Structure 1
C-alpha cells in the first residue's frame, strides 16, 4: 500500500504526532519519536545513522546504539504502514546507504505545507496580489501550533536544526505582520506581533513591528513606553543602542498624530444615548478597572449595569492595545456555550482558511484586552471558572463583569450599582437623575414634554414607585405615547402588568419589567424560590423575625431563614441594611410585585398583611 493510500499525516510544528485517516498513531517512547522527528525535520534528505545516534544520545552513546536505532525504525515503519506486509514497509521510511530518508508528499507533512504556503504568499505579494498574499501567509502561520516547537526541542535537544526552524517561522511571521500593516490591518496582526516580540525580546525587527502596530491603532503612548523598555534591555543585555530599523519605527511613533485611531471594539457597542445620573458611578468603576483586573458590577434587574459597564469600557478603551471585547451572555446557560460566546467575542471573524483549535487562554495570553462579560448571572459558577483560568494565564487581560450575582473570587472588586436618586426637596426635584431620565425618554415619544411645576410631583411619584430603576422609568416614560401622565401614576401600582410598552432593539429580558424581574427568579434554587414566594406575604421592607413568621414553607427556623435571605441578597433579589435596631431587608417594588404574584399563583392572598412583627419594620415602607 502506498503512502498516499494510507493517508498518513505527520506534524512537527507543535506536538510531534502522526495520524492515519484522522486517527492518531502511537509513535512509541521518546527516543523512538525523536527518530521520526529528525527524519521529518530533514524530510526528503539522507539522514546518516551517526546523526540519528548523536540526536538520541548526547555525549557517549551506548555500545548497541546502531541496533537500537534500527529497532526504533522497524517499529515506526509498523506504526505508519500498519496494513503493509512487514518486508514491504519502506514506502515512508526508506533505507539509504548509511542511514534513512523520510519520503512523504508535500501535503503529508505540516512543515512542507507551511513552506509551500509561504512561497506562494511571497509570490502573490511580488505580483501585487496583497490581499491574497495576506490570507495565504495567515493560513501558513496557523500551521504552527507552537512557534517555539517545544516538543521538537525536547526530543532533539542538541540539534542545530531547531534554531533555523524557529527563525524560518519568525521571518514568515514578520513578513505577515508587515503586510498587515501595509494593508492597514493593524488590529489583525498586533496579537501575533506581541507574541513575536515577547519570544524574541532582543530581535529589533520584531520589536519594530510591535511599535508600528501600536502606532497604527492609536496606542502612541504605549509604543513610546515600549521603545524605552526595549532600548534599556538592548543596552543592559548586549551593550548596544537601537539599530536603524528600530530607530525608524520609533521615529514613526513620534511623527504619528495622537488619537487618530482607536483600539478595536468587538461585540455590542456602548449605549447610543447619554448616560444620565451616572457620572460618579462611571468615575468609580473606571478607577477600579485601573487598579484591579476583575471588576464586577452587581445590582437588581433593570438598574443599569450593562449601560454603566459599556460606558466604562468605552472610557478606558485607549488603555488596551487590543481593545474591548464584549460577550453578551443573556441567553447563555451552559459552560460550553459560555466558552463559545467568549471565543466569538475575542476573535475577529475568520479571515484565514485554517480553523482555530487553540484553547481560549492560549489565544488571549499575549493580548492587552478588556474583556466584558455582560449578563453573566445564569452561568455564575462557569463564569468564575473561566475568568479565573483567563486571569491566571493571561497577564494583560482585565475582566469587567455585569451580573446580578458576584463571582466570589478572592481578587474580585465589586461595585454595587444602585437605582437613580429620586428623593429631594421639592425645589430640587426636577434636577434628580431619575426625573431627568424620565423627561428625556418621555420627550422621545411625546415631543415637547418637559418637567414643569405642574407635572414634577406626578413624575416624581412615578419614579419613586419604580424605585428609581432606569429600565422601569424608561418603560414608564414610553407609555406616555398612548397614556396621560395621570393614568401612568395610577398604573405604577401594578407595574408588571400595566407597564408594557412595545420595545425593540434591546435584549429580550429588557423588553418588559416582568421579563427583567422574572430573570432573577431563574437564579434561585428551589429553597430560595420558596423563600422568595413566601416573602410576597410581607411588606417590601421587613426584619428577620417577620420573615421567619411569614415563611412557613421552611418551618420558620430563624437561622435557616437568615441563610436563605442572605443568598437572596447575594443574587440582588433583596437589599440588606444594618442599623442600631438590627438587620433589615428590603425588596424593590418591582421585585415585591413578582413575589406577590407568585404567592397568588400558590393560592394565597397577595396583599401584604401585618404578620405580628414586633420590630415595626413593616410600618416604615
Structure 2
C-alpha cells in the first residue's frame, strides 16, 4: 500500500521529486536531471526553500553573491534561471507564462508541490511517528520514523551549507534528524529490540556526545537489558563529560532517571523512555503515581551556565604544581609558537584598538580569561590581524604564546581534534608527553591547571565551531585566547563571554597602501587609476591584493594598467568557502597568477590538489609529480614566490583553501583520469615506502613484503630507522588523511599497509584510542574486499588496543571474531598471534590457567613453523605465566630462551619484557641478587626505548626484591621513581597504591611485601 506522501500530483510537477537531504537531486519519472554547476544548484535550493513564494531578483543576487553581487550578477542569474527552466520543464514554450519556474513582477518563484520535496516527507513522517508513539501505536511509529530517516542521503541542503540563506533551515533539519533518531531508539525499546536500541543510542552519542536525550535513552536501554551497573556507570560518564566540557551538571530529569535505576523503579524507567521524546526531556516530570514516595518534584530547574556554585579550590603557587606538570624538575618553559609577524600590514587601527581593549587587566583586576573572536570573509586578513596584534603584545604574556591552526574549514573537512591540540599545548608547556591523559576532557582540565596563575596568549586560528574550541580555552584570568573563524560562534559568546570583532573589507586607501608596500610608492603613485581598478577588481580583499602584487612584482616592466585590464578581461568565477565568508569572485586573480607560472610549476600546482593535506613535504610533492627531489624543490620555490602555496615551516607546504579549490578545478580540467590516478599511486607509494623503514620493533611485519614502488616515487630521505619516529610525529595527521583517502579511492592495499604502520607508531606512543580508530577504518576496507585473513589480523590488533584501554569484553569479542575468521584456514602465524593476545587478555582478567594453555599452544605452533620472533614472544609469555602459577624452576628456561631470541633478532623493547619476566622468577625463588640484575637489565632497555608504560611495573617488582634482600633504601629509590612515572601516566598504575607502599617501606615487613609481589601488576 502506498503512503499518502508518495501520491503523485497532476500537472507539470507530477513526476518531479526533489531531494534536499543530501546533495540536491531532482528526478523526473525516476531519471536524475543534470542541474549544472554549484551556483545553479544553490539557486534551485534558494527557490525551493521559499515553497512557491516569489523571491525578488535583488534578494537572489544578494543571497547568492553573499551581499556583494558583481556587476554581471543579474545577467548571470537570468542565464541560470533560463537553464534551470529548460532542465525542469523541457517541453515548456520559451515565452509561456504558466509552468513551474515562473517570473512574477520583480522576481521568480518555483511552484513545486510540497510533497515532491523529501524534506516535507521527512518532517511529516517524524510528526506522524511522534503522534503514533504518544498514542501507543509502537510498530506504526517505528515504520514511520524508519521511513523518514531512510530519506537522508548525506548533509541537509549540502549544496548550500556555505550560504547564509540556508543556515537556519539546515540547522532545523539537523535538529529534527536528531529528534527522529531519538524517537527511533524509543520505538526500538518499546518494540522489543532493546539491544538494537542500545547500539543506536551509543552511535548517536558518538556523534552528539553532549545530547542528554540520547544519554537518557541509553540509560533506559541498558537497564532494560539487565545491565544495571553499566547504566549507572554511563550516567557517571555523562556527569563528568558535562562538567569537564561545559561546566554543567546533568539535568534534574537525568538525575531522576539515575535514582530510578538505583531503586529499580521499572514503571518510571518505561515512562521515561517514552516521555523523553514525546514531551522533550527538559520539560518532563513523571506523573504523580510514578514518583518515589517523598521525592521532590523532578521537573528541571534552571541550570547554572558554569560551575560557579562549586567549591573554589585554593590557588597554588607555581612551586606547588604537580610533578606531572614539570616532570624534569626544571624551569617551566615559556613557549613562543607564534608564526612570523606579517611582512606587510596596513590599516586596521580601529580593530587593533578594540583588541587592545580586551587585554587582561593588571593582576587582581580580571575575573575571567579574555576571549576575542575575529571573524570575516575568507581572504579578508583574519589571521594577519591576529598575528600582527599577537606580536604587538607578546611582552604582556611573559609565560608564553601558543598557536594552533585548527583547520576548521580545510578542504577535506578533516578538522584538527581538540585532543591533538591539547597534546601539543601541554607538552609545549612542560608536561611530559607520557603524562598527557587520554581523554579530551582530562587534557582540557590539565591545560587549565597548568595555565593557572600564568599569563599566556593562545592564538586559535581557523576554528570550526564552539565544540572544537571549548576544550582549548584557558581558565586563568591572566590569559587571553585570540580566535579566528568563519563562523560567528554565538555559543562561545553566550557561554565564555567572548567578544567578537568582524573584519570588513579594507577601504581603498588601505588597499592602495598595501600595493605601495609591496611594489614601492613611486610605481603606485605613477598609475593611481590603475591602482584603484586593481583594488576594486580584487574586491578589496587582502588575499587577492597580495596575489596581484606578487604578479606585478615578478614583472616590474609591466604597467599596472595592463595588469588591471588583464584582470578585467577574465570572466571566471570562484565559489568561496564558508557561510558568512562567501564574498567576491577571485578566480580571475588566481587565473592570471597561474598563467604566469612555468608549465612545470603549473602542473605541480594542479597535482598538489590531489594531496589530502594538511601539509605536504617536498619529497611527497616530488612523488606526486614523478620528478626528482631537487627539481621539485625549485618548482615549490616558484610557487611560494608567487604566493600560490605557503611554506609555514621549512620544507612543509600548504595551500590557502581558496587556492586549493582553484587547483582542484584545474586538475580535473587539465589532468586526465589516468594521470590523476597515476599521481595518487605515486603519492601513496611514497608514504608506503617511507613507513616500510620501520622494523618489527615498531609493529608486526605485514603478511607479505611491501610491493616495489612505481617509477617516479621519492621516499623521504631518512637514513636510519630511528629517524622514523620523529617523522611520524610530524606526519601522523597527514598519514591519517592519506590512509582515509587511499581507502576512499580504491587503493585498499596501500590503506592496509599504512594502517598497520601508523597503528604501530600510535601504540608505541600510548595513544591506543587513535590506534583503534585507524584499525577500525582499515577493517571496513578489509570487509569490503572480503579478505578474511586481513579481517582476522585487524580484529586481533583491535583487541590489543581495547585491552590496553581496559575494554576487556569488547576485546574478547574481537578475538573470538578473529578466531572464527581463521577457522579452516592455513594461517599458523596469525593463529599464534590470536592465541597470545587471548592469553594476555585472560591473564589481565585473572584467568591464568586458561591464559597459560593458550600461550603454550602458541609456542608449540611457533616452534613447528620455525618462526623465531613468535617463538621468543610465546616463550616469554609461557615463562611469565609459569611463574604466576608457582612453577618457577620451569619458568627460568623459557625466559632465558626468550631473551636470547629477542637479542638475536635485535628487538630491545621485547627483550626488556623477557628480562622483567626472568627477574620476577628469580624473585619468587628467593634469589634476590639475580633478580636485581635482571630487573636492572630490563630497565636499561626500557629507558633506551622510551617505554615508561612498562617501567612502573618493573620498578615495583624491583622494590619488592630489594625489600626481600633487606635493602630498604634501594627499595625506596625504586618506588620513588615508579611514583614519578605513574604520576605522569596515572592509567598505568594507581598512584595511591604506590604512595601507600612508599609510606610502608619504613614500617612494613619484608614478608608483607613478598606476599604483595604476586599481585603488583597484571601485564599484557
TM-score norm. by structure 2 comes to 0.27
Larger RCO: 1 or 2 (CA < 8 Å, sep 6+): 1
The structure whose residues are more often helix, as a share, is 2
The structure whose residues are more often strand, as a share, is 1
